[in-house]
Amino acid sequence: MELLTLLTKLTIIFFLTFLISWTFWTIKTFKIGNKKLFKFQIIFPSIFLPLIFGLILYIYMGYPSDWGKIEKGQKRQTVLNIIGKPEIDWWEIKADIYFKLKYKSWYRLDVIYNTDTVVTGYMINYYFGTKTNYTHIPIKLCITKE
């Protein structure tokens, strides 16, 4: 079962609250008759909100499509056939790590196995910044608690 991260839930709540309060403020301004402020209230969201929506889509949909084919219960050999050789092979602790580098950001896939080489969980994370100073956004989390 995929879990929405706390960050995703907070982002959705923030934008819904923002849209509702912006709508009430716009209606109040329209009733008062301030046309300059009313135009700003219409133009600003029509530019700002699509940019924010596009950025969120870029972050949450930008990881490689093959990573989405990983499921709990798959064998390690199946994962290696789908994705390829991991960048970091931590087989001694039963994990493989994959990266997709972008300019000033990267995606990371951690695949966790049990002792029988069966996938028990995986995490897809987005990192923005440099290797020493970055922001971490969890995108997809699917882990079995045993």
Whether residues 69 and 129 share a domain: the answer is yes
**Domain that includes residue 84, residue range:** 65-143
Phi, psi dihedral angles at 129 (to 5 degrees): 130, -155
Kindly state the average pLDDT of the residues 43-60.
79
Same domain, 107 and 130: yes
Q: How far is CA 120 from CA 96, 112, 115, 127, 134, in A?
A: 12, 6, 10, 23, 28
Average pLDDT value for residue range 128-133: 81
Q: Give the per-residue pLDDT at 56.
A: 79
Give pLDDT, residue 6. Answer: 61
* pLDDT tops 50 at residue 2: no
49 shares its domain with 84: no
Same-domain status, 16 and 38: yes
Q: In the prediction, which pLDDT does 73 show? A: 87
The pairs formed by 123-128 with CB atoms below 8 angstroms and a separation of 24 or more are 124/63, 124/67, 126/59, 126/60, 126/62, 126/63, 128/104
Which token pair is 146? Answer: 């045993």
Work out how many domains the chain is built from and give that number.
Answer: 2
> Is a pLDDT exceeding 50 seen at residue 32?
yes
Phi, psi of 30 (to 5 degrees): -65, -40
Phi and psi, residue 104, nearest 5°:
60, 20
57 and 51 Cβ atoms separated by less than 8 Å: no
Q: Is residue 123 part of a domain?
A: yes
Identify the bridge partners of residue 135 per DSSP, sorted by sequence position.
128
Q: What's this model's pTM, rounded to 2 decimal places?
A: 0.67
Q: Can you give the pLDDT at residue 3?
A: 45
